[in-house]
Amino acid sequence: MEGRPQEPLQPRAEAAADLLERLPPTSRVVVLADADTDGIAGASVIARALHRTGRRFTVRLSRRRDAAFFDELFARPPALLITCDLGAAEIERFQSARVPTIVLDHHEPQKDGTGTSLVHINPHLEGEDGSKGASGAAVAWVFARTWLERHGLPADDLVPAALVGAEGDRYHGGGEERGLHTRLKHHAGAERDDGPVGWQEPPILREGPLAEALAMGIDPYLVRFSGDPGAVRAALEEQGVPHDRPVAALSHPERRRLGTFLTFELLSQGADPSHIPRLLTPAPVLPDGTPVGRLAETVDAACRQGHATEALSALLGGPPEMERIHLYLGRYEEAIRAGLAGAPELSALPTTGPALVLRLDEGPYSGPVADRVNAWLDVGPRPVVCHGPTGARTKVSLRARTTPDGPHWRLDIAADGAARAVGGIGGGHKLAAGANVPSDQTEAFLERLGKALTEQAGGERFPSLREATA
């Protein structure tokens, strides 16, 4: 279409649409999505596109990738399998099952696999880094848009859900905007007034008076002011920024002063500079005024508390469903703040190899806590490892920054190798990975992980944080 940025994934999206087109409309399609914010957002995009064209489908959400899961899935083979935010590591499994498959993923693949009955849509296959400039939901949007436009149907209303997935993965690979996400935001109207979403002036903070928003906030997390609205009030008054109004009520000069205050405060506490610009640039909002980032957190909150199906229903439904999952936000933010409260004393944290290790009481929150420790605290080039119990298993999340002179981390490889050695599973991206291991193997996993990361660091000795700050 005129004015649309060229889409490198378009030929693959057309091939996938051809594969779907060859099936009778009554054929059974299974949409298999990762049960996280990105996967669920991608599943909602595909579900809407299939429903709009009268296709018969079911959606399955899962975090499992073991052989038993796929044996059960293929015991009754679908006419077509469409994966969202997963599949790049399972290409050979799909080929062996001889089930026609469309893989919509942004994880680094071991192989392409595209052929007569399998189409793999993945930015990595077109020379783009899918961990930094893409998400599973954004890839799903490219395919869904292609499919709907082929049938002369609208696709703009799928953009908000795709943006939710992009926001859900916003910490992975740093705060940079590039590649597919840049093209998605262009389509969303970032540079015009007639797009399918609106754009809110920065910075993005919680509702209510600014002092309370900053004191209780987790994005950004301000070490000096966390939990202390009085200290925030005094600091804002010194900067000439009203503390008793919401951000939306500030004048442009007041917002600029607030932006300057946040920038200096975050840099002084060692935050990753790549994450700061997104606090100071316009962000997407839904027609009802809800920030897309807030919606992504709401979906993530539901997932972390075991309500992934409700989250999908909310994205496919309307205000009543969304109100229901909104109730999970309070517990979500409380758990993340509790995890972050143990992190500012970084010099007291144990290490495994070069990585800082933070143990949490609740494993499901290891990801969002690791995201924010890595983004907002002074971890430097060290990876961050957060872990905690989830039933009889331990959930582990790893994060690291891109640093010009630091090691080129492959957290996905380290997590996968260490997890497999103790009977668990692991993987992810270069700078954002995870693992799930038996609880009684946690220490053995951490020891193997530390050795793998030490090897990746090339034997470089990282000074302890006590030495670094001495």
Q: In whole angstroms, give the CA distance from residue 87 to residue 43.
A: 13
Kindly tell me if the per-residue pLDDT of 325 is higher than 80.
Answer: yes
Kindly tell me if the per-residue pLDDT of 77 is higher than 90.
Answer: yes
Q: In whole angstroms, give the CA distance from residue 241 to residue 254.
A: 6
Among residues 4, 38, 33, 12, the alpha carbon closest in space to that of 156 is found at 4
Q: How many CB atoms lie under 10 A from the CB of residue 230?
A: 11
Q: In whole angstroms, give the CA distance from residue 199 to residue 234.
A: 30
CB-count exposure of residue 377 (10 Å: 0-12, 13-18, 19+): buried
Q: Write the pLDDT tens digit of every residue in 445-458.
A: 999 999 999 999 98
- The answer to whether 171 and 221 have CB atoms below 8 angstroms apart is no
Q: In whole angstroms, give the CA distance from residue 347 to residue 110.
A: 38
Kindly tell me if the per-residue pLDDT of 468 is higher than 60.
Answer: no
Listed in sequence order, the residues at least 6 apart from 347 whose beta carbon sits closer than 8 Å to its beta carbon are 464, 465, 466, 469
Q: Which residue has the higher pLDDT, 322 or 387?
A: 387
Please compute the mean of the pLDDT values over residues 52-62 and round it to a whole number.
Answer: 96
Q: What structural domains does the chain harbor? A: 10-196 (3.90.1640.30), 200-334 (no CATH), 343-469 (3.10.310.40)
pLDDT of residue 466: 37
pLDDT of residue 257: 94
Q: Write the pLDDT tens digit of every residue in 99-158.
A: 999 999 999 998 999 999 999 999 999 999 888 889 999 999 999 999 999 999 999 999
pLDDT of residue 346: 77
- The answer to whether 364 and 395 have CB atoms below 8 angstroms apart is yes
Kindly tell me if the per-residue pLDDT of 244 is higher than 60.
Answer: yes
pLDDT of residue 233: 96
Phi/psi of residue 358, each to 5°? -125, 120
pLDDT interval class at 38 (50, 70, 90): very high
Kindly tell me if the per-residue pLDDT of 176 is higher than 60.
Answer: no
pLDDT of residue 173: 53
pLDDT of residue 196: 75
pLDDT of residue 179: 85
pLDDT interval class at 60 (50, 70, 90): very high
pLDDT interval class at 467 (50, 70, 90): very low
Kindly tell me if the per-residue pLDDT of 319 is higher than 80.
Answer: no
pLDDT interval class at 277 (50, 70, 90): confident
Please compute the mean of the pLDDT values over residues 344-349 and round it to a whole number.
Answer: 72
pLDDT of residue 198: 79
- Residue carrying structure tokens 């002369």: 152
- The answer to whether 107 and 139 have CB atoms below 8 angstroms apart is no
Task: Give the max Cα distance, the chain.
Answer: 69
pLDDT of residue 290: 83
Q: In whole angstroms, give the CA distance from residue 103 to residue 338.
A: 37
**Averaged pLDDT score across all residues of the chain:** 89
pLDDT of residue 344: 64
Query: Which residue blocks in 169-291 are alpha helix, DSSP H?
Result: 179-187, 210-216, 229-239, 252-268
Kindly tell me if the per-residue pLDDT of 64 is higher than 90.
Answer: no
Q: Write the pLDDT tens digit of every residue in 395-443.
A: 999 999 987 777 889 999 999 999 999 999 999 999 999 999 999 999 9
Please compute the mean of the pLDDT values over residues 232-253 and round it to a whole number.
Answer: 92
Kindly tell me if the per-residue pLDDT of 394 is higher than 50.
Answer: yes
Q: What's the sign of the alpha-carbon dihedral 239, 242, 243, 246?
A: negative
Structure tokens at 10: 């378009």
- The answer to whether 287 and 197 have CB atoms below 8 angstroms apart is yes
pLDDT of residue 98: 93
Taking the model in full, what pTM does it have?
0.90
DSSP 346: G
Least confident of 99-103, 131-135, 174-178, 323-327: 174-178
∠317-318-320 over CA atoms, to 5°? 110
Among residues 130, 91, 132, 137, the alpha carbon closest in space to that of 113 is found at 91
Please compute the mean of the pLDDT values over residues 68-80 and round it to a whole number.
Answer: 93
